[in-house]
Chain A
Amino acid sequence: MTSRMYTLLPQRDWFWWRILCTVILLCSIAVKPCFANSKDEKKEGYTLLESQQGVLQKGLQSDEELMVEYEHLIRQLPLANFKEKLALIEKIEQKGGQHAYDLLTSLLSGELYYLKKDPDILVYAKKYEGDEYQVKELGEESESKLLSKLDLKKIYKKVRTNNRVRKGIKLSIARLSLKSDSESNKINALKAMVLTIDPVTASAIESMYENERSGKVKEMMSIVLAVHTLKTSQDMTAVSSSKVNQAIVLLGDRLEIPVKNTLVEYKGFLEESEIQSDQKSQLLKELNKALTAIEEKNRFYVFVEKLFFGISLGSVLLLAAVGLSITFGVMGVINMAHGEMIMIGAYSTYVVQLIMPNFIGYSLLVAIPAAFLASAIVGIIIQQTVIRHLHGRPLETLLATFGISLLLRQAVRTIFSPLNRQVDQPDWMSGTLEINPVLSLTYNRLYIVAFSILVFIVLVFVIKKTSLGLNVRAVSQNRPMAKAMGVRTEWVDAMTFGLGSGVAGVAGVALSQLTNVGPNLGQAYIIDSFMVVVFGGVGNLLGTLVASFTLGVANKFIEPITGAVLANIVVLIFIILFIQKRPKGLFPQKGRAAE
């Protein structure tokens, strides 16, 4: 029987490589546009606002006079205290136009430095490659030069900002970019000023509204103006109620947080005011309608967000547990050193980033196969030297692997120091995907959800469709029979353990993006992994998938009610009760193989 199956299935050793190549290819395709985007954005930031100069230059001053004044202002920046800086920034905004935009964005991102010896000389220092900085003096003629971080710090000093100054800068930038040509810039600017809008800017927006071509910007403008209307109508009753009514209707289904707050505030104002009129009750009715609509929408998105958090926790659990479900589930080895396999994967990521510090963006893609190999090799060595000799003695295996786990942790402490190591996050993994103002998903979590599912699919494929997978299943179902059919059980054991450990290593790459890379990394996940595998049903990959997502989602829905500490406990108690009722987990193995 078995030998026939062999002949029917072609040798698929190449399969691994094909999968690997596809994964890398897919990932690199996914990454490329991200890189391209970020570059474009930066360019945009530096070239926009060309039409701006002049727009802000009010009064009768000539361009040159303004420039002189502007130059004078910025020279004061380095030595001013925070309070003075705040005032200076506002003046710079008024005088500088595009120059001010560039200057303020650099100041905000900490790229503005001054010469220690002569604070009059300001430079832009942008991070170039690795430890190098591109330093360019202000003014267009000057050439840029490259300096190492150390040299930069020796010669130049950063123009310091604090929270209040940064807030001021952001507002100034928002006001400046309102006049830019880019649609996204305008929208961001409008968003930034929703709550802090002053009458002058409001009337400026009003005058711009008619000439605006982009519908999105117009929409945002009308919201800002509506909020402004509500805010001002609290101070003076001059604003006609029909205008207020209009504003409320307009804001009715907006999710922006300031909008809701303004509505709530206005409602409070109306309820407290002593005037009794039809108009007031009409307005209150409208307000309540708007608020319930917003509330309803909010509730839905909160639910979606919780679901996403649960899925993302589930995907982490899946990654951590799926390797164990092979070694423990399929081979029946209780491997207490499984967590350390994850840790080795995470440290591989760190080493890969050390080797290629200038290509952090690609380092993760290199780290995936590297971590797989590193963990797989360690796994195979453990299997060959220890576990193999303890076959069929689960208690001894448990103790031995526990010892190995201690050994590996101490080895890491000795090699890498007991301190946590920093693994950088590539640019394409940071930031959020903003779906609407109340729902935004972080990219790193999104990638990890996708990655964990990909890993799972590949693994199922390997187990179900390759010759290695066939051997693994044959050995796990009936070892003597498989041996009799000519399967090299020893070799299959080693490969299976290597596969399980390797996948754990790949999990380590993903975890390095979420948590601290330190000697105790594995310890945090070993219990969760066992929990997932036992809950899902030993020896069942699908069970592991369902179990990890169930536990993840359950945890995230309990967390807001009970707090993070109790949520873990509740989930643990639930599993204990569940196992009492169904000792074989969600998806027990059936048939003779189960015995």
Chain B
Amino acid sequence: MKLKKVFTSIGAGVAASVLSFSVLAADTIKVGVLHSLSGTMAISETTLKDTVLMMVEEQNKKGGLLGKKLEAVVVDPASNWPLFAEKTRELITKKDVDVIFGCWTSVSRKSVLPVIEELNGLLFYPVQYEGEESSKNVFYTGAAPNQQAIPAVDYLADELEVKRWVLAGTDYVYPRTTNKILESYLKSKGVAEEDIMISYTPFGHSDWQGIVSSIKKFGGQGKKTAVVSTINGDANVPFYKELGNQGVTAEDIPVVAFSVGEEELSGFDTSPLLGHLAAWNYFQSAESDANDAFIAKWKKYIKNEKRVTNDPMEATYIGFKAWIKAVKKAKTTDVDKVRNAMYGIRVKNLTGGVAEVLPNHHFTKPVLIGEIQDDGQFEIVWETESEVAGDAWTDHLPESAKIIADWKDKSVNCGNYNTETKKCSGQNY
């Protein structure tokens, strides 16, 4: 009997909340947040969820959007790739969200793609990735390879006069594609086959002694050597530890990483990593008023003085600001109208420059190279003179060089237009 009572009261509660929800729903604009809050990716993605919530709160304080309040709808895809697709469907069809901010890994984005295209939703993807994609329904606010990997290699070759290259990565799609692009780029710059060493390791690899020793030997041939690391996740810690133990210092063989940022380094003793490099479009140490304000706001919102900011957070920030501007311009949240309003929108980034939305759904971004300091922060040692336009299809692979993406030009209106055959291969990637 008692149990029944409990159930009815719960039922009543749920009904009440649903009711209030639907009442509220009428005059809010809904922002879907699709980031894993549990599982292996939770460490990274939870931060981005908090960033979106912070931005929503801030926008509401400014009076909302189009006279309505913003309302964040948070779901948890639990680091489970197929679940990302299901949750996207749920967000669009059941929760009626107007835009989604989410995904981290490329595989989760690929899982979301068919659903978001079928339902004509709008996704802002905030992480640096391997490129070779431009969907009508996705805006890529992180770096494409030409906004991170290629400039980093240029920096090493021009400033540090690196002649030999180790491309080390974790064995999955992002490192493999990036390394493929880099290898062909290096060869086009005249680097010989024997001066490039490629090595892949499994996720969570911990026994680095053999690989570090071979890097050391590879680097000991008299030519300046650098490691371009697409090693992902916590495998980086034993990797850098082993480098330190075997006495490989940043002065001899610098390691430039594409997946190691402030968040990954926080709480760790970074003195063995001192001087190794990372390439991003944003560092917490970037000097600009907007950045100072953002960091202060973040620390206040998260109520923790020790929390750091990082590149995907800035990408989320840029995406959010651009979306707000586009909605204001379009005066509606209708996906197609917002999408068309997006092109050419310019928002201030956190490093003192401007991010412009391009017709290929990528952004212009500055590229920064930072050296790791012993407090876990980066000292910016190099940056591009101006923002670099994101290139969806790389120019450094023969099969991708002839493909362009342009959703503004009505004669193209395609994410993978082949300039030779003059054909668009549709939404198949």
Contact = CB atoms under 8 A, between A and B. Distances in A.
B210 interface: yes
B371 A162 contact: yes
B221 A563 contact: no
B426 interface: no
Interface stretch (A13-21, A91-99, A383-391, A510-518): A510-518
Interface in B218-269: 220-222, 234, 237-238, 241-242, 244-247, 250-251, 254, 267-269
Contact of B213 (A262, A309, A430, A514): A309
Interface stretch (B3-11, B197-205, B288-296, B326-334): B197-205
A265 B254 contact: no
Nearest to B38: A418
B247 A440 contact: yes
A123 B207 CA distance: 40
A313 B199 CA distance: 19
A389 to B, nearest CB: 30
A430 B244 CA distance: 9
A166 B275 contact: yes
A257 B207 CA distance: 25
A564 B199 contact: yes
Interface in A81-110: 82, 110
Interface string B113-146: 0000000000000000000000000000000000
Contacts of B200: 563-565
A222 to B, nearest CB: 21
B259 to A, nearest CB: 15
Interface-centre pick from A162, A425, A524 (highest chain B CB count, 10 A): A162
Interface string A21-36: 0000000000000000
Contacts of A424: 269
Nearest to A298: B217
Contacts of B206: 514-516, 524
Contacts of B204: 516, 520, 524
A465 B53 CA distance: 64
Contacts of B254: 163
B245 A442 contact: yes
Nearest to A569: B202
A420 B221 contact: no
Contacts of B213: 305, 309
Contact of B238 (A312, A516, A560): A516
Interface in A403-452: 418-420, 422, 424-425, 430-432, 440, 442-445
A515 B275 CA distance: 22
Contacts, number: 102
A261 B246 contact: no
B171 A444 contact: no
A163 B251 contact: yes
Contacts of B205: 564
Categorize the interface residue count of chain A. Answer: 35 or more
A556 interface: yes
Contacts of B379: 160, 162
Contact of B43 (A261, A419, A432): A419
A264 B222 contact: yes
B374 interface: yes
A563 B373 CA distance: 31
B378 to A, nearest CB: 11
Contacts of A564: 199-202, 205, 210-211
B42 interface: yes
B1 interface: no
B126 to A, nearest CB: 21
Interface in A557-581: 559-560, 563-565, 568
B251 A170 contact: yes
Contacts of B245: 430-432, 442-444
A442 B222 CA distance: 24
A184 B189 CA distance: 43
A116 B38 CA distance: 43
B425 interface: no
Contacts of A422: 267-269
Interface string A506-534: 00000000111010100010000000000
A306 interface: yes
A312 B244 CA distance: 18
Nearest to B272: A430
Contacts of A313: 207, 209
A166 B251 contact: yes
A216 interface: no
A160 B379 CA distance: 9
A110 B374 contact: yes
A145 interface: no
Contacts of B222: 257-258, 261-262, 264-265
A438 B49 CA distance: 49
A432 B249 CA distance: 13
A513 to B, nearest CB: 9
Interface of A: 82, 110, 160, 162-163, 166-167, 170, 257-258, 261-262, 264-265, 302, 305-306, 309, 312-313, 316, 418-420, 422, 424-425, 430-432, 440, 442-445, 514-516, 518, 520, 524, 556, 559-560, 563-565, 568
10 contacts: A163-B160, A163-B275, A166-B275, A309-B213, A422-B267, A430-B245, A442-B242, A442-B246, A514-B206, A564-B201
Given A162-B379, A420-B234, A565-B171, 7 more contacts: A262-B222, A265-B222, A305-B213, A306-B210, A419-B267, A514-B206, A556-B210
Interface of B: 40, 42-43, 160, 171, 199-202, 204-207, 209-211, 213-214, 217, 220-222, 234, 237-238, 241-242, 244-247, 250-251, 254, 267-269, 271, 274-275, 371, 373-374, 379, 381
Q: Which 9 A-B pairs have the closest CB atoms?
A: A261-B222, A515-B206, A257-B220, A442-B245, A167-B251, A564-B201, A516-B234, A163-B275, A309-B209
